[in-house]
């Protein structure tokens, strides 16, 4: 079964490039396993391309679906691009295998969930009034990630206001989504450091490796790269350029490649963050099975929507993630949505 479904955002969600109110994600059920694609224009995908790619993948003559690496290699060779569609299928294979073996996916990966896997909660770009209202409403979360990168004056003003509002102890992260120039980033980083912001994510546009390297010299906080780290093949070029990477299933093409990215990043001395797009509990739960491998967890996409058709990973006090102790991904269709996914 392949079905697209419109996820409605709780509030308009703004990053440096754009603001949106909903997304059309594509769900696949393959031999009892669930997967989800969150196609984005940034990755040159749409609901239509993801659906088409998934139909093609499901109809392929594939190796034994129990042998996920074999299948992933075949699909990657034959389907170029379409990372979110490949991610959905790879997720479904993991869910399927876990269910058949009667074990949660985290057990297949061999890392037990930790008690302190705490997701950050993202505050999108908006007017200062709206952003401050969202910060106040997010008091349950121990870690906030603030989207920046549209206008430096706004960025510094809002970060000062947020720190003043949340007090000195709350953990803060910032993500500029490639929106700054080198000169702007050099002005911003000391201010963020003074405010106790733990790291800056993607300060400069994708591909500006030499400039990031220059920024990192003497930078007062670590630099994490997201748009620059798509698959494991990107990582050797980032060693020594930045301090860490953000891994997302919708960029890597699935859990299989995401795990390779973890291994390669560790070997290169890069810190690891597991992130997401705006996704339902299917894809968020899939990514959460990698959280035991991560230094930072940013899996709040399902918390930003009002009509999540699935349940899976639970988000508890402070943002602590609790992985389901069920076979496979541990995701189920919510009762109210059964007719949509029958």
Binding site for Mg ion (CB under 5 A): 175, 201, 226
DSSP 19-78: EEEEEEEEEEEETTEEEEE---GGGT--HHHHHHHHHHHHHS--S-TT-HHHHHHHHHHH
Q: 320 burial class (0-12, 13-18, 19+ CB within 10 angstroms)?
A: middle
Q: Which CB, 75 or 235, lies closer to Mg ion? A: 235
In Å, what is the CA distance from 64 to each residue of 74, 77, 97, 141?
11, 16, 11, 42
For residue 15, the minimal CB distance to Mg ion (Å) is 8
Q: Cα–Cα distance between 338 and 310 in angstroms, integer? A: 9
Tell me if 342 sits within 8 A of 4, measured CB to CB: no
For residue 294, the minimal CB distance to Mg ion (Å) is 14
Cα 33-35-37 angle, rounded to 5 deg? 165
For residue 145, the minimal CB distance to Mg ion (Å) is 8
For residue 119, the minimal CB distance to Mg ion (Å) is 14
Q: Which CB, 202 or 256, lies closer to Mg ion? A: 202
Q: Which CB, 17 or 334, lies closer to Mg ion? A: 17
Q: Which CB, 188 or 331, lies closer to Mg ion? A: 188
Q: Which CB, 95 or 175, lies closer to Mg ion? A: 175
What residue is closest to Mg ion based on CB? 226
Q: Which CB, 79 or 224, lies closer to Mg ion? A: 224
30 alpha carbon, distance to own chain's centre: 23
Q: Which CB, 72 or 175, lies closer to Mg ion? A: 175
For residue 225, the minimal CB distance to Mg ion (Å) is 9
Q: Are strands 143-147 and 121-123 parallel, antiparallel or unpaired?
A: parallel
For residue 129, the minimal CB distance to Mg ion (Å) is 24
For residue 99, the minimal CB distance to Mg ion (Å) is 32
The residues, any chain, with a CB within 8 Å of residue 28's CB and separated by 6 or more, are 1, 2, 34, 35, 36, 37, 54, 58, 88, 89, 92
């Amino acid at each position: 079964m392949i079905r697209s479904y419109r996820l409605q955002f709780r509030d308009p969600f703004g990053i440096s490039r754009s603001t949106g109110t909903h997304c059309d994600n594509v769900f696949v059920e393959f031999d009892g396993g669930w997967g989800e694609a969150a196609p984005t224009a940034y990755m040159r995908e749409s609901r239509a391309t993801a659906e088409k790619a998934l139909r093609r993948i499901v109809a392929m003559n594939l190796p034994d679906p129990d042998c996920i690496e074999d299948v992933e290699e075949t699909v990657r060779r034959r389907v170029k691009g379409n990372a979110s569609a490949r991610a959905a299928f790879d997720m479904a294979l993991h869910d399927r295998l876990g269910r058949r073996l009667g074990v949660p996916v985290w057990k297949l990966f061999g890392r037990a969930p930790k008690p302190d896997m705490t997701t950050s909660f993202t505050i999108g770009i908006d007017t200062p009034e709206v952003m401050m209202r969202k910060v106040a409403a997010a008091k349950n979360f121990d870690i906030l990630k603030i989207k920046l990168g549209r206008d430096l004056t706004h960025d510094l003003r809002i970060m000062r206001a947020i720190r003043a509002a949340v007090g000195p102890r709350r953990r803060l992260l910032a993500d500029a989504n490639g929106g700054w120039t080198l000169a702007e980033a050099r002005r911003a980083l000391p201010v963020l450091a003074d405010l106790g912001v733990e790291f800056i994510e993607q300060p400069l546009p994708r591909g500006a490796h030499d400039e990031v390297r220059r920024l990192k010299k003497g930078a007062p906080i670590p630099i994490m790269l997201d748009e620059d780290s798509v698959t494991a093949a990107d990582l050797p070029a980032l060693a020594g350029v930045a301090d860490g990477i953000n891994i997302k299933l919708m960029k890597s093409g699935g859990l299989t490649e995401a795990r390779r990215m973890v291994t390669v990043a560790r070997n290169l001395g890069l810190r690891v963050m597991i992130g997401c797009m705006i996704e339902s509990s299917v894809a968020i739960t899939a990514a959460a099975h990698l959280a035991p491998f991560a230094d930072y967890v940013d899996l709040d996409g399902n918390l930003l929507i009002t009509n999540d058709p699935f349940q899976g990973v639970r988000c508890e006090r402070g943002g602590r993630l609790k992985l389901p102790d069920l076979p496979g991904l541990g995701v189920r269709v919510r009762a109210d949505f059964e007719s949509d996914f029958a």
